[in-house]
Structure 1
Amino acid sequence: MRILLSPGKAWATKLDKKHFLIQYLKEKYKVIVVFCGLILCNFFLYFLYDVRMEPVLYTTFLLILFTLPFAFWDMRRIYRKCERLQNIGQKEYPVMPDLWAADTLLEQNYQRVIKGALQAWQDERTRWREINAERDDYYTLWTHQIKTPIYSMDLMLQTGDTTPSKWKAELLQVSRYADMALKYLQLENQYSDLCLEQVKLMSVAH
């Protein structure tokens, strides 16, 4: 079964029932082997006591009749879980899934791991959104600030003002704003020259 398609398109086909049945039988093969072993033991015991086949067949029929409803119930339960997981996986962005109540300890552990991983992903995504919003605000303000010396130099060109001190002051402003942008990029870069970490004071002193 496919999990994702390109955004805006309908999702892929439903859960393949034939494939699910094969996988279900593979998963439950130990139970099936034990069940068949019990039936064979039943036949063997009746054979040892030289009992007619009618009671053997009748007992086997009752055993199968009693077991089949539970087998179909378990198969339907797992099929619904697989369908629900497929629907969760088809979402364009991962969200905290509304999972069913765990039936086993293994399912509880899986659900805890999944929820923990999704929560960590959402926290990281929120953090990067905040970083991007802060960066956008900073560069928007920086763009408006650097326009001031640029407009001043443009005005001096139009008026023919060639006073060196004025030009030097405006160029100094542009240089300062450029340095501010570079410093901001260095602070964002995880491989910057500045590295902050917690160390033991005694190890540094010695």
Structure 2
Amino acid sequence: MKKYLQYRRGYLCIWLLLCSVPILVQLLYGQALESILYGVGLATVLVLLFMVHDFLHFREKEEKRKQVAQNMGSRELCLFETNDPVEKEYLDLLGQLTERYCKQAEQLQTATKERQEYYTTWVHQVKTPMAAMNMLLQKKDTPESRQLQLQLFRMEEYVEMILHFTRLEESGTDFVFDSYDLDELIRKTIRKYASVFVQKKIAICYDTISAHVLTDEKWFCFVLEQVLSNALKYTNQGSVTIAMETPGLLTIRDTGIGIAPEDVPRVFEKGYTGYNGRADHKSTGLGLYLCKRTMNRLHHSISLTSVVGEGTTVTLDLRREERVIE
């Protein structure tokens, strides 16, 4: 009703003005008001009857407008009928815009799907020569071959990052939630980076964590790998410590170069590399961004603290409401 009165406030003002003018004229001339009040009362009744009919029509149009809003952007959009020529023109324009939007949305969806299929195919194809290179390098145990293996390992990381990035962009992602032994997931990730720890002569400090986590194994391990990769990338000496000092809070702490205070609030933004990333000339600014998005999809959270020259601590908050696995 309030919305309707605001919509028809112009008509109400005109009606009050038309009623008040005759009454004011009669008062100025000192004549009886009975005839004027009778006419005003009759006009008021007619106006009220019109407003009741108009309000019912307005409410019906409002319900149809809500239905249109719910189906906006769909070819199933059902527009209401109207006798108002101006409204008809607006409805025709809305129909044309909806059709144009649907065509553009279909074109964008097709282009996105083709691009994702291309990236996925490229990733799987490039893995074949990389695997062959790795086998050839393993036949020679020299300082040069170990360095090449390290660089090849980094290439594999970037390829996996692209694959996970394209999968996250898809509307449906292959998440499979279950209860996993956290210790096994961590040890699996550490074994993957064992050669990097050895070559960089960085110690890994980890004691068994007796805890289970409700998550997706593949995607959670991807986050662990990205965090561990960053710790190794920006740590030249010292150690990387993985621990759960507080139940549900997994911390990965390194003794690396740290992150500038002004960069810390933005490290999870897409493409943001910060001072260290720009100095390194190799940072893509995607690693922590993908970690943030993945943790959100897993219903976990991730945070980071850092001190320049002392190191960085990444905290994975694995606490969540109890859920039943069917």
Q: TM-score, normalised by structure 1?
A: 0.51
Structure 2 runs not aligned, ≥5 long:
26-30, 141-326
Q: State the partner residue of 2:61.
A: 81
User: Given the alignment of the two structures, is residue 26 of structure 1 paired with residue 5 of structure 2, yes or no?
Assistant: no
Return closer, same or farther for 1:103/1:122 CA change in 2, 3 Å cut-off: same
Deviation at 1:120, TM superposition (A): 1.8
Offset at residue 53 of structure 1 (A): 6.2
For the residues of structure 2 that align with 1:122 and 1:141, how far apart are their CA atoms? 28
Shift of 1:39: 9.0
Unpaired segments of 5 or more residues in structure 1? 1-16, 45-49, 161-206
Q: Give me the whole-angstrom Cα distance separating, in 2, the residues matched to 1:35 and 1:103.
A: 28
Give CA deviations for 1:87-137 in whole Å, capped at 9, x if unaligned.
Answer: 544x49643532210221110111122222222222211111100110111
The answer to whether residue 102 in structure 2 is matched with residue 122 in structure 1 is yes
Equivalent in the alignment of 2:126:
146
Q: How many residue pairs align between the two structures? A: 137
Distance 2:62 2:10 in 1: 14
**Cα distance in 2 between the residues matched to 1:53 and 1:61:** 12
Letter in 2 for 1:95: S
Q: Which residue of 2 aligns with 1:95?
A: 74
Mapping 1:167-206, distance limit 5 Å: none
Alignment partner of 1:71 out of 46, 51, 54:
51
Aligned CA distance change for structure 1 residues 27 and 88 (closer, same or farther; 3 Å): farther
Does the 8 Å CA contact 2:74/2:98 hold for their aligned counterparts?
Answer: yes
C-alpha distance 95-26 of structure 1, shift in aligned 2 (>3 A): farther
C-alpha separation in 1, matches of 2:98 and 2:10: 27
Deviations 1:143-193 (A, max 9, x none): 222122112212222344xxxxxxxxxxxxxxxxxxxxxxxxxxxxxxxxx
Q: For residues 41-94 of structure 1, what are the alpha-carbon distances to aligned partners after superposition, in whole Å with 9 as ceiling and x for unaligned?
A: 7998xxxxx9x86665555444443443222111221133234324544x4964
AA of the residue aligned to 1:98: C
Does the CA contact (< 8 Å) of 1:42 and 1:56 recur in 2?
Answer: yes
Q: Please give the secondary structure, in 2, of the residue aligned with 1:28.
A: helix
| Partner amino acid, structure 1, of 2:88 | Q
Calculate percent identity across the aligned residue pairs. 22
Contact 1:102 1:108 in 2 (8 A): yes
Which amino acid letter does the alignment assign opposite residue 114 of structure 2? E
The 1:65/1:92 distance shift into structure 2, 3 A limit, reads closer
Which one has a larger percent strand, Structure 1 or Structure 2? 2
Q: In structure 1, how many angstroms separate the alpha carbons of the residues matched to 2:83 and 2:4? A: 20
* CA shift in 2, pair 1:155/1:93, >3 Å: farther
Is the aligned partner of 1:108 residue 2:108? no
The structure having more radius of gyration, on CA atoms, is 1
Q: Does the 8 A contact of 1:43 with 1:56 survive in 2?
A: no
**Residue 138 (structure 1) shift:** 1.1
